[in-house]
Amino acid sequence: MKIISVIGTRPQYIKHASLAMEVLKHLHVNLITIDTGQHYDTNMSKIFVEKFGIKDIKYNLGIGSGTHGEQTGKMLIEIEKILFIEKPNFVIVYGDTNSTLSGALAAVKLKIPVIHIEAGMRNHNIDVPEEVNRTLVDRMSSLRFAPSSEAIKNLSKEGLNTNTFLVGDVTTDLIKEIGNESVKPGEEKFYFATIHRPFNTDSKNRILQILNALNNLEYKVILAMHPRTKNVADNWNIVLDEFMNIQIIEPIDFFDSINHIITSEGVITDSGSLQKEAYILKKKCTTILKYTPWQETLMGSWNFLLFDDLSNLNEVMNREINFDQYIPNCYGDGKVAEKIMDCILHNA
């Protein structure tokens, strides 16, 4: 059996690493990976790939940044060329990025079955590009692997019950493994933050509002600066050194990110992946979004949505958490990749 996996962003490298390690147990399965290069920053791609020893990346497209249409179009052209050559039995795509949509489109046009890992996630806002991507990909997929019961409900409402499976989130496999290792706590209390969404960075007033809110928090904030956020700050001549309570660091790999979550007093982010990782690791998270597809994280105030008015961010970060409302193994038991592969082999 030949399977092609399409990746290109930090969460996809992580999900793919879990699955790739599981595939190694099946000698009759040939896994070939296409890296679109959607995340072209070294700390977000190459370092992660090297640390995990991912050896199945055969094609590096190096597409990089661009408008949504430009990025998707370039990926679609190049992925189709590869599929013509390789003729795989399945194409696996992850999540909701332009890489996801391009891989699925290229495959379905060539009548190659598509497997969607992290199917069924919705924020019910079609203005969000990721919502368009994941909705279309679920429609095109032959096998859909959902990370949560909420995702299953979404797919059911859309009439996508057939060949849909609740398995958990494949990232959980790695998080549980890393989280069980001993981590030395930092000497100084801090919050860990990441901000990168366009609606939080495309306006000078908005990014200043976020930076000021972070700067006024009780504890120091370690902000892993996304390349997009750094670029817009530079373009608007925002002097980051003026925010004395914020320590700016370069984008970090998955291992360092997990370590920062574990040793922090809480997380502030607009990343879907990071809020889920915080929940799995039982860390308080405030999400700078109006909606999250990870609805389970909101129970017991483990995750809190804050968007329009950030003036009470400090109060929100000091909120009480209800430990009784935490859902153990909500997103998987550490064997998600194994369940996915068993299902793929059963349906081959």
- How sure is the predictor about 45, in pLDDT bands with cuts at 50, 70 and 90? low
Q: What is the pLDDT of residues 266-319, one digit of tens each?
A: 999 999 889 999 999 999 999 999 988 899 999 999 999 999 999 999 999 999
Q: Which residues contact 342 (CB under 8 A, 6 or more apart)?
A: none
Question: Per-residue pLDDT for 39 more than 80?
Answer: no
Please report, rounded to a whole number, the percentage of residues in the chain having pLDDT higher than 90: 68
Domains 2-169+332-347 and 178-325 are alike in CATH topology: yes
Helix axes 254-263, 272-280, angle to 10 degrees: 50
Q: What angle do CA 187, 191, 193 make, to 5 degrees?
A: 135
The Cα 149–Cα 152 span in angstroms is 5
Predicted pLDDT of residue 322 = 97
- Phi, psi at 247, each rounded to 5°: -100, 110
Predicted pLDDT of residue 208 = 95
- How sure is the predictor about 181, in pLDDT bands with cuts at 50, 70 and 90? low
Whole-prediction pTM: 0.85
**Which secondary-structure segment (H or E) carries 40?**
none
Mean pLDDT confidence for 76-90: 97
Residue 253 to residues 43, 98, 262: CA-CA distances in angstroms? 6, 21, 14
- Any catalytic annotation for residue 16? no
Please report, rounded to a whole number, the percentage of residues in the chain having pLDDT higher than 70: 92
Residue 191 vs residue 39, higher pLDDT: 191
Per domain, the residue ranges of the chain are 2-169+332-347, 178-325
Query: Is 2-169+332-347 in CATH node 3.40.50.150?
Result: no
Q: Which amino acid is at 238?
A: I
Please identify which of the residues 16, 116, 196, 346 carries the catalytic annotation. 196
Predicted pLDDT of residue 226 = 83
Predicted pLDDT of residue 48 = 57
List the CATH code of the domain at 178-325: 3.40.50.2000
CB 163 within 8 A of CB 145: no
- Cα–chain-centroid distance for residue 140? 21
The Cα 234–Cα 290 span in angstroms is 26
